[in-house]
């Protein structure tokens, strides 16, 4: 760009001449401290800075483009596309594994506990299904006992042809309630 207009410099050249970072040059352009014009190059838009507006003093004139005043950091190996040797990679992997070890152990313990919880849940579901089946049987028993208790004695299937019921005490006319039958079955007393 310096070839097209010899009295102008690029942002990088201005940064080297003045001894500041390129972003500082950009900020000074925006603040109006340096006179510059936007130009379109093959790389995109940039500024052509007038060399006369750069405040080059004897203290910062020693900086030339061959001796940049700003130190640039070497490329960071963790950045994408950077080359990392196998030793560094193995060391980084060991550090990551060391950091993750407690979490992996906790995850394993949690997985075991979850397995135990699932086993308990399955057992409780089986017990619930068994209890529901038993309740259904007890309901059927209650319904059948209610039906036989309301039938006249002569219509009961046990005594066809009998017309009169034998004399029974009033408390023996009705069988025990389904709740007492269920309780006796559950407690093992019946």
Q: Give per-residue pLDDT as tens, 14-31.
A: 888 888 999 999 999 999
Residue 146 confidence (pLDDT): 75
Residue 45 is predicted with a pLDDT of 85
pLDDT for residue 66: 47
Give the Cα separation of 121 and 118 in Å (integer).
5
Write out pLDDT tens, residues 91-140: 999 999 999 999 999 999 999 999 999 999 999 999 999 999 999 998 88
Q: Where are the domains of the chain?
A: 1-70, 89-149+177-190
Q: Using one digit for the tens of pLDDT, what is the confidence trace for 65-91?
A: 444 444 555 555 555 555 667 888 889
At 33-74, the pLDDT tens digits run 888 988 888 888 888 998 888 877 655 554 444 444 445 555
Strand arrangement of the beta sheet that strand 44-50 belongs to: 8-9, 44-50, 36-41
Q: How confident is the model at residue 145 (pLDDT cuts 50, 70, 90)?
A: confident
Contact between residue 64 and residue 16 where contact means Cβ atoms under 8 Å apart: yes
The per-residue pLDDT for 86 is 84
Residue 100 CA: distances (Å) to CA of 110, 114, 134, 175: 15, 21, 51, 68
Q: What is the pLDDT of residue 163?
A: 54
> What is the per-residue DSSP string for 69-92?
SSPPPPPPTTSTT----HHHHHHH
97/39 Cα distance (integer angstroms): 51
> pTM, whole model, 2 decimals?
0.31
């Amino acid at each position: 760009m310096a070839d097209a207009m010899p009295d102008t410099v690029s942002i990088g050249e201005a940064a080297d001449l003045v001894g500041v970072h390129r972003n500082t040059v950009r900020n000074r352009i925006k603040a109006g401290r340096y006179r510059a014009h936007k130009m379109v190059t093959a790389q995109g838009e940039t500024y052509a800075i007038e060399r006369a507006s750069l405040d080059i003093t004897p203290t910062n004139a020693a900086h030339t483009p061959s001796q940049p005043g700003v130190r640039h950091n070497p490329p960071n190996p963790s950045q994408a596309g950077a080359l990392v040797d196998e030793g560094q990679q193995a060391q980084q992997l060991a550090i990551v594994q060391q950091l993750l070890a407690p979490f992996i152990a906790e995850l394993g313990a949690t997985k075991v506990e979850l397995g135990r919880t699932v086993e308990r849940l399955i057992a409780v579901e089986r017990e619930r299904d068994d209890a529901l089946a038993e309740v259904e049987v007890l309901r059927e028993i209650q319904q059948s006992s209610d039906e036989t208790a309301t039938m006249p004695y002569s219509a009961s299937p046990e005594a066809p042809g009998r017309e009169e019921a034998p004399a029974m005490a009033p408390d023996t006319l009705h069988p025990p309630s389904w709740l007492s039958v269920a309780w006796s079955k559950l407690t093992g007393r019946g």
